[in-house]
Structure formats: C-alpha cells, structure tokens
Amino acid sequence: MPSAIPPPPPSLTTYLRSLEDTPLDKSITTLISLLKRRQIRSSRSCALATTKLLIAVVEAGSPDSSHNTWSSTSALITRIRQVGRKLISAQPKEIVIGNIVRRVLGVIREVADRDSETGNAADLSGSEISGPTSPVTGERSVLPMRLSEFSSRDVLSGRPGTADSIASSTFSAPMAGPPTQQQRPNLMNAPTGTSLFSILQHPQQNPSRSTSSPYATPPAGTQSPALRPSPTSKSTISNAEAGGESLDIKAEVLDGLAELLDELSVVDSQIAESALEHIHSGEVILTHGSSRTVQRFLLTAAGKKRKFTVFVAESYPNDHSATHDTLVNGAQPPVSPDDEGLGGEKGRWRGLTAAGVTVVLVPDMAVFALMPRVNKVLLSPHAVMANGSLLAAAGTEGICLAAKEHRVPVVVLAGVYKLSPVYPFDEEGMVEYGDPSKVVGFAEDGRFVDGVDIVNPLSDFVGAEGVGLYVTNLGGCAPSYLYRVVGDHYRGEDVDLGVEEAGSRV
C-alpha cells in the first residue's frame, strides 16, 4: 500500500477518480500537466498514475479500431511507447514513470512472445511431429523437462536456486518465453528443425530476461490466489475456445498490468516483511524524512515487540512538515490504487511512538554528531539505478557519507518499481531543484532574497558505494547485484525509449 514520499492526496486521488469517466486523450493531457506542474510527485504516486493511465490506454483499444481492441501487440507497443514518451518528457526527473512504461512494455512483449509461441505450436502440432530430441537440443532437452516440473509455482513458493534460474540464464535463447506448463511441452515437442528455426525466429528476445528467475517479481496473484485465475490458464482457455486473437491480447495484457498494480499496492508490506531480519532490539536507527516505506518497516518491527530508538532527520526545508506530521500523528496511508480503496486502511497509521518506539526528531545537521551511536541507517530513495546508486531527498548524501565514515550500514528500502534500467551517466542532470522561497521567503526577507542567490536542491545522488544493502519487495540484495534484478524486470529493447531522460544521455 504505502510508499516513499507523501503524495499530495487531492491531485492524485482526484486524477485516479477522474480516470474512469474522462476520455482517454484528456486523461493523458491531464496527467502530463499534473506531472509538469508537480502536482503529482513522489515515486509511488507517479508510478500509480502512470500504471492506471496505461491500463486505460490498453482498455481503450487501438485508436484505429472501432471495437476497442488491439489488432496486434506491435500496435499496442507502439501506442504505449508513444504515450510513455509523452509522460517521460513531461517529467524526465521522475525516473519511476519510465520504469513503469518499460514494465508495461515488458508485459506486452511477454504476451506477444506467448502468443507467437502458441501460434507456432498450433501450426507444428498440425504437422504431428513430436520428437523430443534433436542434435542441437539433445542434451538440453533434459533441462526443459525439469523446468516444466519446477514451474514458476515452485519459485513463487519461495524455493530459491532451482534449476530454472540457472537454466534460464544459460539457455534462455532456445527456451525463452514464460516457463508455464501449458507452453513448455509445445516448445519441447517442436522438431529439430523448428527448434533451430525458433532460435532464429525470436532474435529480439532479451536473453537476460527471465520471468522465472527467483528474483523476478512474483505475480501478485500469490497474494490472493483465489481471486484471480492465472493469466496463462486464461490464455489457454481463450486460445482454445475462441480464435479471437485481438481480444486475447488485450485481456492478457490487462491481466499483467493488474499484477503490476497489485505489486505497487503490496510493495511496502512485502518490504516490511523482512523488517525482523534487519532490526534487533535495542537498536538505534537513523532515518531521513517521512517515507511510508520506512515507517511501515519500522512499525512492523515495533509490532513484533522489538524495542528500539529511531532518530529522524527532519529533511528541512522541503519535507519537514510532512516529517513532523508523521511523527506526531502517524503516517498518512497512501492513496489506494483501487479508486474506491478496496480494503485499504482508513485513517492514519499508528504513529511509531504509539507502537512503543522512542523517536527522536533531530535537525539534519546533527546527523554527523549522532552517527557514532547509530547502528543502522534506513533510507527510502526516489529511484534506484541499475548500478546500485540511488536518487533520494536532499540531505541523503551527507547521511550516507557520514554512515560510511563511521562504518554504519546503510539499508535502502526500495520497491522493485523504483529500480531503473537507466544507467546514470549524468548525475548532475538527475538532481531536481525546488522552490527557493522555502529556504528564505521573499515575504520574510525581500532585500536578502534580492541580493543573494538562493538554491534549493530537492534530491541527492548517492553512489553505490554509499549503500550497504538494498531491501526490495523480493528480499535483500547487495548493490552490486542490483543489475541482475533490473535485468529480470525489463526487456533490453525497452531500455531506450527514445526520449531524453534525466541522467541518461541517449
């Protein structure tokens, strides 16, 4: 449910509400202007708004079609890329927008792959050739057999390091495509010639991508298995029953996007699940600002009767009032991805102090003085780059460096949606500058403002060396491993969307 920085609820909620009954083109332009005007900010709000809008785009169907359908996945991809480019260039500094667009494209491409595979398989089964071995795949065919046994369900049930992760990274080219039980036999049954043929058939598939890797985000359906039939089973049914290919694409893509939406809503509770692995009793923790992810994480640990102390740097002048508010009244629950707030918590969360945690609010400049006594630093960034560096609220770099100087581990809590495949070539360009009147208002000291150049940066870029550990909704990993998690979630062909993004010099 929760995430990074408190969104300005009116704009995001009103936008999500209006999405239902507004024409699509207007929704797109509204979101663009909201992003430009920074009325929707914070990673989570942007992610949510982007996802919802792209869902609406998919639902609306192809602009050329009169039946609200999509004739082909390539048309859908073109459309999503086009809308995505608009959104990204509206606010290039919100890295998350680009992440979500790429994730959506990834979902579509996955559907496209499955689609073409099943199409292939149907043709091939018609020719009734079903030899399992071949000169090329002879030895490998054993692995796919095992793979089908260790289907994605095993991975989801938390069994790490099964053969498929190795297999998929090593032999992903011949067996690319989601390792689902329905499709795998088809692929294996393919005759020698076709198996070679299929290698050539799908050169665009990203070898590094594999949905079955243990680090790939499990479908959020695992959270509520009863509610949603798995997209694959649905697809087979629809494949079997009707030849309505175009409808199938739309439904499958929407299913994938619903999973993405679910991921956004459970990401913080998933991260918080590992709280007890990181917080021991009597610990002194330093955090910065009012991130909901961190609040949730700490609350979970406090709820399990761990007594600890939290120092909170207030993040003056851009986020201090939210920090104060969170500390005194408890965190605002985030805007629910479901418009009506399906089962979402009403009202505020319990404050950390109410959970029995000693909370000390400190000004930002005191972090160095406190650092020798701090056991752990908990941060929640705006965005995380593939190389393990991160972008977070201004003041973070000072905290990370002080922590490094005092050998205090920095634990960064970030949902996978914050991971960006973009490599930060231009660190300066990623930093956003804000309203200088928050530093000194013209009204309070006009002559001062006149004579002095006032600067108010909103974000800090922190290199990977400043971070000790990343905790994502998939578990913890070292900054150096992050590129792999990124590889699991994005398709290589989507990394370059053809727009100028912050930090990337395309």
Q: Which residues of the chain form contacts with other proteins (CB under 8 A)?
A: 309, 311, 315-318, 320-321, 324-325, 327-329, 351-354, 356-370, 372-373, 393-395, 397-398, 401-402, 405, 428, 431, 439-440, 445, 447-448, 451-457, 460
**Minimum CB separation from other proteins for residue 236, in Å?**
54
Question: Which distant-in-sequence residues (6+ apart) come within 8 Å of 494 by Cβ?
Answer: 101, 102, 105, 106, 109, 421
Task: Give the whole-angstrom CA distance, residue 121 versus residue 127.
Answer: 10
The residues that bridge with 284 in the sheet, in sequence order, are 309
Q: What is the torsional sign of CA 305, 307, 308, 309?
A: positive
CB-wise, 170 or 329, nearer to other proteins? 329
376 vs 489, beta carbon nearer other proteins = 376
Task: Enter the DSSP assignment of 433.
Answer: B
Smallest separation, CB 483 to other proteins (Å):
25
Sign of CA dihedral 85, 262, 484, 276: positive
Find the shortest distance in angstroms from Cβ 396 to other proteins.
9
Cβ distance to other proteins smaller for residue 119 or 372: 372
The helix/strand/coil state of 37 is: coil
**Helices within 274-431 (DSSP H only):** 275-278, 292-303, 320-329, 367-370, 396-405, 427-430
Pick 53 or 458: Cβ nearer other proteins: 458
Q: How far is the CB of 45 from other proteins (least distance, A)?
A: 21
Nearest distance from C-beta of residue 353 to other proteins, angstroms: 3
- Nearer to other proteins by Cβ, of 154 and 397: the residue is 397
> What phi and psi, each to the nearest 5 degrees, are found at residue 119?
-60, -50
Shortest distance (Å) from residue 468 CB to other proteins: 17
d(CA 458, CA 4): 14
Contact 196, 167 (CB under 8 A): no
| End-to-end Cα spacing for the chain | 34
Strand 284-288 and strand 376-379: pairing? parallel
Q: What does 205-251 look like in DSSP terms, one character per residue? A: S-TT--TTSTTSPPPGGGGSTTTS--HHHHHHHHHHH---HHHHHHH
CB of 359 to other proteins, least distance (A): 5
Closer of 264 and 352 to other proteins (Cβ): 352
Q: Which residue has the tokens 């920074």?
A: 38
Q: Which is nearer to other proteins, 224 or 358 (CB)?
A: 358
- CA–CA distance, 405 with 460 (Å, rounded to integer): 18
What's the min distance (Å) between Cβ of 460 and other proteins?
6
Q: Quick one: tokens of 80?
A: 């999503």
Residue (67 or 307) nearer to other proteins, CB: 307
Closest CB to other proteins among residues 305, 447: 447
The CB-of-317 to other proteins minimum distance in angstroms stands at 6
Distance in Å, CB of 356 to other proteins, minimum: 7
Report whether 488 contacts 216 (CB < 8 A).
Answer: yes
Q: Assess contact for 76 and 253: CB atoms under 8 A.
A: yes
CB-based contact 113:178 (threshold 8 Å): yes
Q: Which is nearer to other proteins, 136 or 366 (CB)?
A: 366
